[in-house]
Structure 1
Amino acid sequence: MAADRVRRQILGVLGAWGMPSDLAETTAEAMVETDLMGIDSHGLSMLMMYEGMRRAGQLDLSARPKVELDAAATALVDGGANLGHPVAVFAMRLAVEKAKAAGIGAVGVRNSHHFGAAGHYARMASSAGVIGFITSSARTVLMVPTRGVMPLLGANPIAFAAPALRHRPFVLDISTTTVAANKVKVYDLNNKPIPGGWVVDAAGEPVTDSARAMEIIFKEPGGGVTPLGGTEVTGGHKGYGLGVMVQILSATLTGAAFGPIRNRTQRPDEPDNVGHFFLAIDPKAFRPAGGFSEELDAMIDVLRETPASDAAKPVLVAGDPEAAERARRLEAGIPVPPALEGHIRDICGRCGARYELSDD
């Protein structure tokens, strides 16, 4: 599916839902870029979840970001219970602006919702010539702690980007869970089994059936997605600890919600109060004479020149797979499985948007 067609579809649905055109453009741009980079879990397919949130009354799609606290190098922004993409773009730009003026800029966000792939906002920072670091709390409580069987945290993503000169920026975009829950959704939409170790049931046993995994994640009280590194203490506790760190930065620091506490009293129509944290660092604040990007280029050269275990598969640097997939999908199009096409057609039917994914 051509990227422009996917963009038109997203814009059509968001417009039918009442989102102002400029906010819809910002949201659609983030979602399409995510799909182009092969992160199908956070692009077009998210309209399914967003429709449910809208129907429950959780979203205010007309809300605009509002600065609540503002200082030379820091700010706190309220997302107004809109989707997270517009406030995330606003906050990242504000953090970059502060970094250019003060050397460093840190912006917290509260009262937001799902904002897509964190790497999208990290790339905004590197495109502006600064280092970007982003964290976010999450809507769905799904991470099973080390040695536990009841989920306590969300996927709680982290993204980091640094600008180079000759090379693409170094971009790391990870979940603190073994996999994001929405990636399990993609496997389910494609009727494919998930790898063992991604999801465990209430007894701590691995689950590979993607449909069953979706039930565990989104409908059942026990079981969930494993932390980055697995469920054992050797590695898994680090992923779990990383998830807690992200929760502290994104939510405890900003006044956003912690899922297990929020879920005790939250009504179905109440916003999720997701929190985000955006940090921008201007290398010139630490190296006035320059040289940061040049040295990063040299570092990337060394990484790429490392002998590969398979000559047909060169050593990768963070951001390479997404860049390669983006180039491929710009040429070949974004894959949209039949099950997802059906869901989007149904959404269009319910909201009155034109169905753009076929020529019918």
Structure 2
Amino acid sequence: MSPDAVRRFDASQLHEQIVAVLRAWGMPGEPADATATVMVETDLSGIDSHGVSMLMLYEELRAGNRLKLDAVPEVVRDAPAFAVVDGGAGLGHPAGLHAVELAIHKASVCGIGAVAVGNSHHLGALGHYVRKAAQRGLVALMTTTTRTPVVAASGGTTPILGTNPIAFAAPRAGGGELVVDMSTSVVAMNKVKAYALKGQDLPSGWVFDRQGRPVTDAALAYSLLTTREGTLGPLGGAGPETGGHKGFGLGLMVQVLSAAFSGAALPLDDADSDNLGHFVLVIDPTGAGESGATARYVDDLLGLLVRDEPDVVLPGSPEAVARADRGRNGIPIPESLLEHLRGICDRAGTDMILTPLG
């Protein structure tokens, strides 16, 4: 079978497979289940860059003794509307979920809750976390630093910031949520990896070598990014003419919010753990007005956008379409990734149970 061949798999079986690997690595049952849920929901939403394919990175971190799979997030500073959590050098999913629940609780008491997390690792797509707050009628903002420097400062060529994503969610009166989830680079680094696994070329303008030349070979681009020999353009593109300086400014903002409150790492830090930082802000809109008013406003606003233009694509719509398709037909996984997963299961001492549908 060719490396770019794709087969589909049931979401519940994929969840079971991820849990089996995490448990074999020493992660306790409840956080393993929660982590697998985030990863599978991400794959269901069509964000292949942040789902099961991340097991490759997690195995690498574990092998390098940079990741503690049995870590328990701990609140180290607490105030009525603010807290700081130490992730214990564990995977970011349990720490991120803990931070969101804590921020939700504080918002229920104070009307607003903010939680900073330090000493953490990759936590997947941020949209999953802010959606959990919006499903309870709350408004949420979340940011995180990322482990590999890939974005150069405006006018520079040295990778300094990560992709530094930001996500926002608000409830809708008609049901569902508005979710905005994006990197502050022109694309997420793991999307470059996803293109490489599928054997697809990159669009020109995503990745550049250190001489500023665009790189479209996805495998080469990912190699350059992981060795700091390449850069991703900031949101808006490589130059100020298209707003690249604004994208870099957003990345700086995310760096401060995510890391400054919790003692998370500066860019280019070479300590024994990634020490990533996350930040969650949750607002209870009932503290500012009539119950349901914010959700109605969001519905009215989105209604204006699509009223006369039915082809408008709202944030979150592609993910909703993907969830419907993949929920019915299974999650597509390329053969190249399946081969990696077989190796991971073999090295972990657990069975590869994935069976293609159809």
Question: TM-score of the superposition, structure 1-length normalised?
Answer: 0.94
Within a 5 Å distance, the mapping from 1:1-360 to structure 2 comes to: 1-219=9-227, 221-234=228-241, 235-260=243-268, 262-263=269-270, 266=271, 270-288=272-290, 290-307=292-309, 314-358=311-355
Amino acid at match of 2:229: G
**What is the rounded CA distance, in whole Å, between the counterparts of 1:20 and 1:357 in structure 2?**
22
Aligned partner of 1:209: which letter? D
Measure how far apart 1:222 and its partner are.
Answer: 3.1
Contact 2:285 2:291 in 1 (8 A): no
What is the distance in 2 between the residues matched to 1:144 and 1:206? 14
SS in 2 for 1:68: strand
CA contact (8 A) 2:120 2:276 kept: yes
Q: Displacement, 1:291? A: 1.6
Gaps of 5+ in 2: 1-8
For CA contacts below 8 A with separation 6 or more, give which structure has more relative contact order: 2
Whichever residue aligns with residue 275 of structure 2, its letter is: N
CA distance in 2, matches of 1:223, 1:87: 30
**Paired residue secondary structure (2:331):** coil
Displacement of 1:259 in angstroms is 2.1
CA contact (8 A) 2:112 2:284 kept: yes
Which 10-residue stretch deviates more, 27-36 or 296-305? 296-305
Q: State whether residues 67 and 90 of structure 2, in contact with CA within 8 Å, keep that contact through their aligned partners in structure 1.
A: yes
1:271-299 CA distances to partner (integer Å, 9 max, x unpaired)?
11000000000001111454221222122
CA drift at 1:32:
0.3
The amino acid of 1:147's aligned partner reads G
Aligned counterparts of 1:88 and 1:306: Cα–Cα separation in 2 = 39
Distance 1:290 1:12 in 2: 42
- Structure 1: gaps of 5 or more residues: 309-313
- Indicate the SS of the match to 1:90: helix
Q: Residue in 1 aligned with 2:6?
A: none
Distance in 1, Cα, partners of 2:339 & 2:355: 11
Residue by residue, what CA displacement relative to the aligned partner does 1:220-240 show, whole Å, maximum 9, x if unpaired? x33211111111012000000
Q: Matched residues in 2 for 1:97 and 1:324: separation?
A: 31
Determine if contact 2:154/2:239 at 8 Å carries over to the other structure.
yes
Q: Secondary structure at the match of 2:15?
A: helix
Alignment root-mean-square deviation, CA: 1.1
Shift of 1:342: 0.1
Distance 1:26 1:140 in 2: 25
Counterpart residue identity of residue 301, structure 1: G
Residues 167 and 297, structure 1, Cα contact 8 Å, conserved in 2: no
Could you tell me which amino acid in structure 2 is paired with residue 118 of structure 1?
L
Q: Which residue of 2 aligns with 1:311?
A: none
Measure how far apart 1:326 and its partner are.
0.5
SS of residue in 1 equivalent to 2:161: coil
- Measure the CA separation in 1 of the matches of 2:334 and 2:252: 35
Structure-2 separation of matches of 1:193 and 1:344: 23
Paired positions, count: 347
Matched-pair identity in %: 48
Greater shift in the superposed pair: 289-298 or 120-129: 289-298
Q: After superposition, what is the alpha-carbon deviation per residue over 1:155-196, rounded to whole angstroms, capped at 9, x for unaligned?
A: 100000000121421100000001111100001001110100
Query: What letter corresponds to residue 328 of structure 2 in structure 1?
Result: E
- SS across alignment from 2:140: strand
**Is contact 2:173-2:295 (8 Å) kept?**
yes
Q: Aligned AA for 1:281?
A: I
| Contact 2:163–2:251 under 8 Å retained in 1 | yes
Query: Is the CA contact 2:73–2:94 (under 8 Å) kept in the aligned structure 1?
Result: yes
Q: Is the 8 A contact 1:306 1:315 kept in 2?
A: no
TM-score (norm 2): 0.95
Deviations 1:39-79 (A, max 9, x none): 00000000000000000001111111100011110000000
